[in-house]
Amino acid sequence: MVSRESAKRQIIGGVNMSAPSFESFVAQYLRLAVCGTYWGDEGKGKIVDICSEYFDIVVRFSGGENAGHSVNDESKNFAFHLLPSGFARGKTCVLAGGVLLKLQALVAEIAENTPKLSCTAPDVLIDERCPIWTPYHALFEAYIERLRGKDAIGTTGRAMGPLQGFHSMREGVIAAHLRDRRQLMRVVTQLHAILKPCFDKMVDEVPTPASVVDELVALAQSSGILKSIIDTGAYLFDEITKGSKRVLFEGSQATGLDVNAGTWPFTTSTSSTAGGIAAGTLLPPGALSGTLLVMKLFPTRVGGGSMPSELSSREAIQRFADANPELFENGSARAEFLEDRLRHCNTDDATSAELGEYIMVKAREIGVSTGRGRSPGRPDLAWARYAIRVNDPIGCVLNGLDVVSGLEIIEVVTGYRYRGVELAPGIVPVLDLANVEPVIEQWPGWKEDITGAASMNQLPQNARRFIERFEEGLGRSIILIGTGTKRRDVIFREPKARLNAIF
């Protein structure tokens, strides 16, 4: 007879993962990171939510409110932008010094999500080094994008670039300034003075330094957030060295948007890879035990920047999303579209753009933070191998396998060709991605709907073969497979020892 505690240990999000179990796999890693492969929106929030059951502290180490993670716990949906996804399970949440913080957004997010909790609201700790957003950053970003004209980067409009940029120039507000109104007034006034020549050329209304300071002080005091501002680097180091707490690091965005590893200048402004954890948290590099690299079968991208596997133009896919909002809501219009379009996609007359629209609707590719339509690309092994090279994960997570149910043929990018030469695995000219030609193979799909499958034996033979083939192409074990949006819609696979680490 299995004891209640033993049975509990074999469950992850409602799915039986008994030996070999995900719990036993995760137990090997006291400090685990979850990072993204492509250009974000890959389901990291769900994976962090699943993993956080086995950790005590969940840490955001970079990014800002321009990142968005969704968590579906069966009864309630959480939408996180600044809060680590571990908030949904009541885990201690840390916003490390690498996080770009809009105080107004954080306070609103805590207020919105706390009533949804089925547990006690967790502590949310904020590093005293976090750069703090002001309206001046947003005004300056709008000014820059207008000057760029047709060469605009297509930012989220959340002003993360200016916030990080001025912080790198040692200008602006950090969380520690919120403790001292006089210091806060000094740095806000100085930032206003630096940007005034730009503001004088704009028609936008510019708040005075005093009004900016008044809002920040009032919000910090009324929310009680001042007591949460600490040196989180010291806190984490202490918890780790005592050996009493397990720590999970939550990445924002993904490798393709990392300010160094990504397709600069069409990137975010902070580090999104595992390598950014040390700088973002002030923990030593050796503190990290391992990284899970999350990808979805059909990568997506928004804003500017190239994606070699893209199925349609960015502009066309956005026009389609804007013109058909009813297709992203449950109803007869959505059901009819998916049925008709799937039938058409399985004919020789289907175009890649039509497939892109189908994937977009099927996967509801609309941004959590921005509401922008995401442009899908083909499954891309070539970029994934680059992300593996950069992050050296202990295993990969493949989300969105259910999205391709019903497709008879799945086109997969197996390599890149650049200037007439096929590139070696892991090598990508990230600064000249527009001139990369994808090498495409057609792999057999499957007719069966696999949504909600929780074990490999629930998958049809073609789906199992696809996973094995994709894993071989990655050269790294696929240990989790997402088959839906809910916590329970995941399959654990034991890692293969022969797929060794790079180093």
All residues at 6 or more sequence positions from 170 whose CB lies less than 8 Å from its CB, including other chains: none
* Run of H or E residues at 15: strand 15-16
How far apart are the two ends of the chain, measured CA to CA in Å? 43
Record the tokens describing residue 435, joined without a space: 């001139």
> What are 130's two structure tokens?
């976090």
Phi and psi angles of residue 369, each rounded to the nearest 5 degrees, phi first: -85, -35
Whether 51 contacts 265, CB under 8 Å: no
User: Are the C-beta atoms of 29 and 21 separated by less than 8 Å?
Assistant: no
3-state helix, strand, coil in the chain (%, to 5): 40, 20, 40
Per DSSP, which regions of 297-426 are E strands?
300-301, 375-376, 395-399, 409-418, 421-422
- Name the catalytic one among 49, 56, 69, 322: 69
Q: 17, 10 in Cβ contact below 8 A?
A: yes
Sole residue written with tokens 């202490």: 238
Distances (CA, A) of 281 to 51, 97, 417, 428: 20, 6, 38, 28
> Is there a contact between 272 and 253 (Cβ–Cβ < 8 Å)?
yes
Assign 364 to helix, strand or coil.
coil
Measured CA to CA in angstroms, residue 478 lies from 145, 220, 471, 473, 493 at distances of 40, 44, 6, 11, 7
Q: Rounded to an integer, what distance in angstroms lies between the CA atom of residue 426 and that of residue 48? A: 26
Quick check: is 41 catalytic?
yes
**Residue 69 bears catalytic tag:** yes
DSSP 372: P
DSSP per-residue string spanning 93-161 = EEE-TT--B-HHHHHHHHHHHGGG-SSPPPPEEEETT-EE--HHHHHHHHHHHHHHGGG-----SS-HH
- 230 bridge partner residues: 127
CA 463 – CA 452 distance, rounded (Å): 14
Per annotation, catalytic residue among 41, 258, 402, 489:
41
Q: Catalytic residue numbers?
A: 41, 69
